[in-house]
Structure 1
Amino acid sequence: MRVKVVDNELIDLSGSLLISSGAIQYDFIEEQKKTQGVVVFDNCHRALPLVSDWLTEELSLKQTPPTTIDTYAKNISYLLDYLRNQKLYKNMRLDDAFLVIQSHTLQEYFSYLKNESLLSSKTIRNRDATYQSFFNNYLCIPRRDGKAIREDNPYVEGLLSNSAKSKVVEMCSLNELKALIWCSHSERERALLQFIYDTGIRRTEVTRVKKSEIDLAINTDKSALIIDHDTVAYPSHYKALPIAGSKGRKREIKHRFTLPSVATLARLKRYFSTPEYRRLAKKYGSDSPAFINSEGRPYTPSSINKLLEKLSRRALKSGLIDRPIHPHMLRHGFAGSLLRSPDLGSHSVDKLVVLQHCLGHAHLTTTQIYTALPYDIYGQYADNSGEVLTRANLMELVATKTKKKVPLR
């Protein structure tokens, strides 16, 4: 299966055979500045019309990002591959199987995935939700002519797979964070890891963080956030940092603030002063990204994944950790560190509201999953005298113990 997603992009058709043969006029093509659409191909390089049209609609509504479109296409292709090994569907044309498939066949597919231990219950549920959306939002609703492509709906009673079992949140501990940082030979990577842990930022949001925003946060005297029309004060050893969020409606950027510690921002400020960063950031001018890789490009979600994989392997080999750490575990680590910090909110409800805002959750119920953290993880840190350490204290300790000497001149 192959999928091509064109999201409001300019397409150059100047070399098209249609133009050279005179079938269409190139002057007309020049007027079509941007193109948007999705084409999904099967293993024989044939376009799947039903799936392609559905995903094109999803993309045009601007509620489904291209990455999710790609996931939908893959989920559809996995089901088609399964059906083509079944006698009833073997000789069906393209994606016509979706016009006749019944709920019991879908349930058999999910049982096959579960019984063969091919996928987790959560992943199976994700595929089920994709197929439900395909039927409910495309195949089984009236089209332009007033008729639905398919009259009966196998999803009329809801999802067909068993509900996914909820899991305890996997959180990167402070010791695991320090182990990862120790295994990096670059202050650039060390500062990035501490920043993700101390802000709760998603890996997809890292690219949009600007140096100018961090500079402004360092120099501001702001000491309160407005959350749901209420003013929430925070201590001076935290700074409000704007984040261009990745979970806005209709794929629009949803802005929020998070609260990194002064120690983490100071670490970034020192890195910004190094010859390496100044050299890499020079071409960006005043719009320089805060995090630039060794090749001079902003970090991407993929490169952050690879960084965590590399450092996890090193830390595992050295015996510093006993499990791989992925980027979202750093985000969970931020959540745990904020909830156990005694200086952010006078009681648990206040802390949850602040955490909801910092993480960019639309609903407080999503944030409440962190209240189920095991006590040995959720418990508070204390120094030798028994005084409970704040999140700011802990980040200062991390910065001090993992500092890598970088020449400023």
Structure 2
Amino acid sequence: MEEEQFLPKFMDYLRVERNYSDNTEIAYFEDIHDFQTFLNQQAIESFTEVDYLVVRLYLTMLNERQFSRTSVARKISSLRSFYHFLIREGVFSDNPFTYVSHAKKDLRLPKFFYNEEMEALFQVVYQNDEPLTLRDRVILELLYGTGIRVSEAAQIQLSDIDTAYQAILIKGKGNKERYVPFGSFLEDAIQIYLENGRNVLSNKYHKHHDALLINHYADPLSTRGIRYCLTKIIEKAALTRKIHPHMLRHTFATDLLNNGADMRTVQELLGHASLSSTQIYTHVTKEHLKTTYMKHHPRA
């Protein structure tokens, strides 16, 4: 394999064999491309000339440029995977990133909506029965009621919804599929939306397809479109603190754990490959318990 083929072949490997998402591929590409720029600045002509001392110099440069610990950890992980691929392809014998030690990632607790904030959001989507409001109602009930990712919501087809068992087939990261249950609130919201929202727009614009969520022209709603809808809901709710649509997923997990759900179940519902990804929410629930105790106990 020639040097100029290293990165394209690696990207093909991520896409075909690892089934990584477009966003993940972009992150890997940018990390490796930045490292290649650094090598050029150091007059190092090939990835195969990199050794442990070069890696340490690279980490020093990242530190001087004040990259966060999380960003550094991600770059190291990307480059370690890249060199592992080169070893597998027989163009390199040793991974210079194998024994690199770095500071642990910053522990950032997931932010979530409080009950009064969720009530304000739901008030927005239940204020009228216009077609797009009915769609926004489904979006909010769907993301909070199932904990799925925004990108997963954009992929839902009508055929994925099993009303008899109240479950939806979700296609997650790496094309992994899972069924998530849903309750009566989402069931009612979907039924009303299909009859008085989606069908109205589809017939108006003569567009017929299987996507659950549609835009105002009756085309499938994209991930970006869903985020835009959520941002507008949040703005209309007049919530004051800085918030993000992904907080609905965090709120879903936090509320389950606060109400006694076990970790394994939450892991499966969220579609986490590892339990360690779910355990971060235990820190949130512990903090919630502590705050409640300090606020309400007479001896706190």
Q: Is the 8 A contact 2:254 2:285 kept in 1?
A: no
The question of 1:102 aligning with 2:31 is answered no
The question of 1:278 aligning with 2:199 is answered yes
Within 1, Cα distance between the matches of 2:282 and 2:137?
A: 29
Q: Is the 8 A contact 2:146 2:252 kept in 1?
A: yes
Q: Is the 8 A contact 2:160 2:169 kept in 1?
A: no
Give, as a single letter, the amino acid of the residue that structure 1 aligns with 2:52: S
Match of residue 154, structure 1, among 96, 120, 137: 96
If each structure's strand is expressed as a fraction of its own residues, which one has the higher value? 1
Match of residue 172, structure 1, among 86, 103, 113: 113
Q: Deviations over 1:153-202 (max 9, x none)?
A: 31242x44322122222223333334445567833223312320111011
Match of residue 244, structure 1, among 170, 185, 188: 170
Within 2, Cα distance between the matches of 1:127 and 1:76?
A: 8
Please identify the structure whose Cα radius of gyration is greater: 1
Unaligned stretches of 5+ in structure 1? Answer: 1-46, 223-239, 342-347, 382-409
Q: Deviations over 1:343-364 (max 9, x none)?
A: xxxxx5x632322222122333
Unaligned stretches of 5+ in structure 2? Answer: 126-131, 293-300
Give, as a single letter, the amino acid of the residue that structure 1 aligns with 2:167: L
The equivalent of 1:61 in structure 2 is 17
Match of residue 137, structure 1, among 85, 88, 91: 85
TM-score, with structure 1 as normaliser:
0.60
The equivalent of 1:406 in structure 2 is none
1:109/1:74 CA distance change after superposition, 3 Å: same
Q: Is the 8 A contact 1:203 1:301 kept in 2?
A: yes
Partner secondary structure for residue 41 of structure 2: coil
1:79/1:269 CA distance change after superposition, 3 Å: same
Partner secondary structure for residue 170 of structure 2: strand
The equivalent of 2:151 in structure 1 is 204
The equivalent of 1:83 in structure 2 is 39
TM-score, with structure 2 as normaliser:
0.79
Q: Deviations over 1:97-148 (max 9, x none)?
A: x12123333333334334433x33212211111100111122x34x4xxxx3
The count of corresponding residues between Structure 1 and Structure 2 is 282
1:297/1:107 CA distance change after superposition, 3 Å: farther
* Equivalences for residues 314-333 of structure 1 within 5 A: 318=238, 320-327=239-246, 329-333=247-251
Q: Is the 8 A contact 2:135 2:193 kept in 1?
A: yes
Within 2, Cα distance between the matches of 1:379 and 1:278?
A: 48
Q: Is the 8 A contact 1:195 1:264 kept in 2?
A: yes
1:198/1:53 CA distance change after superposition, 3 Å: same
The equivalent of 1:404 in structure 2 is none
1:355/1:82 CA distance change after superposition, 3 Å: same
Partner secondary structure for residue 201 of structure 1: coil
Give, as a single letter, the amino acid of the residue that structure 2 aligns with 1:243: L
Within 2, Cα distance between the matches of 1:377 and 1:211?
A: 37
Deviation, structure 1 residue 379 = 8.7
Q: Is the 8 A contact 1:353 1:364 kept in 2?
A: yes
Q: Relative CO higher for 1 or 2, CA cutoff 8 Å, sep ≥ 6? A: 2
The equivalent of 2:75 in structure 1 is 127
Q: Deviations over 1:222-248 (max 9, x none)?
A: 5xxxxxxxxxxxxxxxxx41232313x
Within 1, Cα distance between the matches of 2:65 and 2:117?
A: 34
Deviation, structure 1 residue 73 = 1.2
Partner secondary structure for residue 369 of structure 1: helix
1:48/1:63 CA distance change after superposition, 3 Å: same
The equivalent of 1:186 in structure 2 is 133
* Equivalences for residues 30-45 of structure 1 within 5 A: none
Within 1, Cα distance between the matches of 2:156 and 2:289?
A: 29
Within 2, Cα distance between the matches of 1:378 and 1:210?
A: 39
Deviation, structure 1 residue 367 = 2.4
Q: Is the 8 A contact 1:335 1:355 kept in 2?
A: yes
The equivalent of 1:362 in structure 2 is 273
Within 2, Cα distance between the matches of 1:64 and 1:165?
A: 24
Match of residue 266, structure 1, among 178, 188, 201: 188
Within 2, Cα distance between the matches of 1:334 and 1:375?
A: 16
If each structure's helix is expressed as a fraction of its own residues, which one has the higher value? 2
Partner secondary structure for residue 262 of structure 2: helix
Q: Is the 8 A contact 1:340 1:379 kept in 2?
A: no
Within 2, Cα distance between the matches of 1:116 and 1:175?
A: 41
The equivalent of 2:296 in structure 1 is none
1:370/1:244 CA distance change after superposition, 3 Å: same
What is the root-mean-square deviation in Å for CA atoms of aligned residues?
3.1
Q: Share of identical aligned residues, percent?
A: 21
